[in-house]
């Protein structure tokens, strides 16, 4: 029993360690000598120094850096205010210096991501944007404040403190009635025995109040970064880029092939609906539950490589491709689609039937190149089962097949002998209506996917 007695606090300690949740993350990180090199200056005669040196010459160089800085302002009601009773420090704008360390390439962004973000936010990407360099000489400080977010996507700040000789200048953070101290000078002198020189880093959310206590000696040099939620990964095709190979990623080559196909008078002469399976995999939540964001909404901004080339080439022909979810049940040989993620919930019938009947689903019939439609007996069964069904169906000509990647699942419960829960997986594909030969952008006479869109 006494053992158990001893264990309980340890277990508790482990538990509280595992669930610790602070609005910041901090530590030290060893870097290569070149990472500490700083170039600065407003003219062509840039100066150079190492932010890891401790010799007398290095300290002189720090003094020169301090002289080259401007007095730091702070934000008050969207205005930059100079007030040495509030903030006394030197600052240099990011245009006027260059640091050897590339934060985007270093592990720091990953470290901050893992340290600061958990739960749902953990799946979002972040980026750090260089903001300012500050030199806090003796008696410099910064009174309590919160960092003004620059843009709605900014969620925090990252501060790097360099191992330049200094004392004092601890950063205090306050949030929800708690206070924490980040004393970089102490952390760095305790880490001085490591082989690699270190920086101290701290990242915190924008709503955390913080202040820098007065520096009592030396130079405290910091470089700050604004932390942003990363937008969708850039489309692989900025206007300035011209890909030659691979062909499928070459916008012009994809466009030409499309134009040729659509100019062929024997190809869907009356127009119709084209389907394209996505070639790349996208980071969709595999299991979608009601209330989660609709992953189809931002897809067009994420598309990669050949998918992006295709999307852009279709747009250039004044066509309007849209992502749809395709669901298929083999045993019933039926394919349906929806233009939004659905929560099937409870169903007494086949999941595809349920999507059709209750979730704005559209039946997908497959078209042969000659224009005839592939039909299966089971589809006839559907029609005889629901003779008065709303008749929503679209004939799709699959240019490229939809595969098993990019599937999104919707949970449902079916009643057999016992209640059981299962997931129905749907595959994201791009669908686009095309008009008749000679007028492919004119889809006014086409009963295709556009007419079936639930948002229209």
Ligand X SMILES: O=C(O)CCC(=O)C(=O)O
Q: Which is nearer to ligand X, 134 or 429 (CB)?
A: 134
Measured distance CA(325)–CA(355) in Å, rounded: 11
Is the CA virtual torsion 202, 207, 208, 211 positive or negative? positive
Query: In this structure, are residues 148 and 75 in contact, taking their beta carbons and an 8 Å threshold?
Result: yes
Q: How far is the CB of 129 from ligand X (least distance, A)?
A: 14
Q: How far is the CB of 363 from ligand X (least distance, A)?
A: 58
224 part of the interface to ligand X, by CB under 6 A: yes
87 part of the interface to Fe ion, by CB under 5 A: no
* Residue span 57-76 as binding mask against ligand X, x where in contact by CB under 6 A, dash where not: --------------------
212 part of the interface to ligand X, by CB under 6 A: yes
Which tokens sit at 438?
């000679």
Which of 52, 164, 222, 350 is close enough to bind ligand X by CB under 6 A? 222
379 part of the interface to Fe ion, by CB under 5 A: no
| Alpha-carbon torsion, ordered 286, 291, 296, 297, to 10 deg | -150
* Subset of residues 266 to 305 that bind ligand X, contact rule: CB under 6 A: none
203 part of the interface to ligand X, by CB under 6 A: no
Query: In this structure, are residues 128 and 203 in contact, taking their beta carbons and an 8 Å threshold?
Result: no
Q: Omega of the bond prior to 246 within 30 degrees of 0, cis?
A: yes
Q: How far is the CB of 210 from Fe ion (least distance, A)?
A: 6
171 part of the interface to ligand X, by CB under 6 A: yes
Q: How far is the CB of 168 from Fe ion (least distance, A)?
A: 17
3-state SS assignment for residue 416: coil
352 part of the interface to ligand X, by CB under 6 A: no
Query: In this structure, are residues 400 and 279 in contact, taking their beta carbons and an 8 Å threshold?
Result: yes
With CB under 5 to 8 Å by kind, the binding choice for 171 among ligand X, Fe ion, none is: ligand X
Q: Which is nearer to Fe ion, 179 or 330 (CB)?
A: 179
226 part of the interface to ligand X, by CB under 6 A: no
16 membership: H or E segment, kind and range: helix 2-19
Q: Which is nearer to ligand X, 158 or 296 (CB)?
A: 158
Is the CA virtual torsion 94, 95, 101, 102 positive or negative? positive
3-state SS assignment for residue 155: strand
Q: How far is the CB of 134 from ligand X (least distance, A)?
A: 6
Measured distance CA(263)–CA(334) in Å, rounded: 32
Q: How far is the CB of 48 from ligand X (least distance, A)?
A: 23
Measured distance CA(20)–CA(448) in Å, rounded: 53
User: What ranges in 20-176 are assigned the alpha helix state H?
Assistant: 56-68, 108-116
* Subset of residues 75 to 94 that bind ligand X, contact rule: CB under 6 A: none
* Helical packing angle, 251-263 and 305-316, nearest 10°: 50
* Subset of residues 139 to 158 that bind Fe ion, contact rule: CB under 5 A: 147
Query: In this structure, are residues 93 and 80 in contact, taking their beta carbons and an 8 Å threshold?
Result: no
With CB under 5 to 8 Å by kind, the binding choice for 159 among ligand X, Fe ion, none is: ligand X
With CB under 5 to 8 Å by kind, the binding choice for 235 among Fe ion, ligand X, none is: none
Across the strands, what pairs with 88? 141
Q: Which is nearer to Fe ion, 209 or 411 (CB)?
A: 209
With CB under 5 to 8 Å by kind, the binding choice for 134 among ligand X, Fe ion, none is: ligand X
Q: What angle do CA 143, 144, 145 make, to 5 degrees?
A: 115
Q: How far is the CB of 220 from ligand X (least distance, A)?
A: 7
With CB under 5 to 8 Å by kind, the binding choice for 322 among Fe ion, ligand X, none is: none
Query: In this structure, are residues 96 and 181 in contact, taking their beta carbons and an 8 Å threshold?
Result: no
26 part of the interface to ligand X, by CB under 6 A: no
134 part of the interface to ligand X, by CB under 6 A: yes
Q: Which residues bind Fe ion (CB under 5 A)?
A: 147
Binding site for ligand X (CB under 6 A): 134, 142, 147, 159, 171, 210, 212, 222, 224
């Amino acid at each position: 029993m006494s053992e158990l007695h001893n264990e309980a606090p340890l277990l508790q300690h482990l538990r509280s360690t595992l669930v610790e949740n602070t609005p910041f993350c901090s530590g030290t990180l060893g870097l290569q000598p070149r990472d500490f090199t700083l170039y600065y200056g407003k003219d062509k005669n840039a100066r150079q120094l190492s932010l890891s040196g401790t010799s007398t010459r290095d300290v002189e160089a720090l003094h020169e850096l301090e002289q080259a800085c401007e007095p730091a302002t702070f934000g008050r009601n969207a205005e930059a205010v100079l007030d040495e009773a509030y903030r006394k420090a030197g600052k240099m704008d990011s245009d006027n210096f260059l640091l050897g360390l590339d934060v985007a390439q270093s592990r720091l962004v990953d470290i901050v991501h893992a340290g600061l973000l958990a739960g749902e936010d953990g799946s979002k990407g972040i980026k750090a944007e260089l903001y300012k360099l500050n030199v806090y000489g003796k008696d410099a400080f910064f009174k309590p404040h919160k960092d003004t977010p620059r843009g709605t996507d900014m969620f925090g700040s990252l501060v790097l403190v360099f191992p330049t000789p200094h004392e004092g200048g601890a950063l205090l953070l306050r949030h929800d009635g708690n206070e924490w101290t980040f004393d970089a000078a102490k952390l760095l002198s305790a880490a001085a025995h490591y082989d690699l020189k270190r920086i101290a880093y701290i990242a915190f959310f924008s709503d955390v109040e913080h202040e820098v206590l007065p520096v009592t000696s030396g130079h405290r040099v910091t470089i700050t970064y604004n932390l942003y939620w990363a937008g969708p990964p850039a489309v692989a095709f900025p206007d300035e880029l011209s890909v030659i190979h691979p062909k499928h990623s070459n916008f012009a080559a994809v466009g030409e092939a499309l134009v040729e196909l659509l100019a062929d008078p024997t190809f869907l002469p009356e127009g119709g609906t084209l389907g394209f399976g996505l070639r790349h995999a996208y980071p969709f939540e595999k299991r979608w539950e009601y209330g989660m964001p609709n992953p189809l909404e931002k897809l067009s901004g994420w598309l990669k490589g050949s998918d992006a080339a295709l999307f852009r080439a279709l747009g250039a022909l004044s066509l309007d491709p849209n992502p749809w979810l395709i669901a298929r049940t083999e045993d019933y040989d039926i394919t349906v689609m929806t233009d939004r993620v659905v929560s099937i919930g409870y169903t007494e019938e086949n999941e595809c039937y349920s999507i059709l009947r209750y979730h704005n689903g559209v039946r997908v019939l497959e078209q042969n190149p000659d224009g005839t439609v592939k039909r299966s007996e089971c589809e006839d069964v559907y029609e005889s089962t629901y003779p008065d069904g709303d008749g929503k169906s679209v004939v799709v000509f699959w240019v490229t097949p939809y595969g098993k990647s990019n599937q999104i699942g919707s949970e449902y419960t079916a009643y057999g002998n016992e209640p059981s829960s299962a997931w129905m997986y749907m595959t994201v594909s791009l669908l686009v209506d095309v008009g008749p030969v000679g007028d492919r952008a004119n889809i006014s006479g086409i009963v295709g996917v556009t007419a079936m869109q639930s948002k229209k």
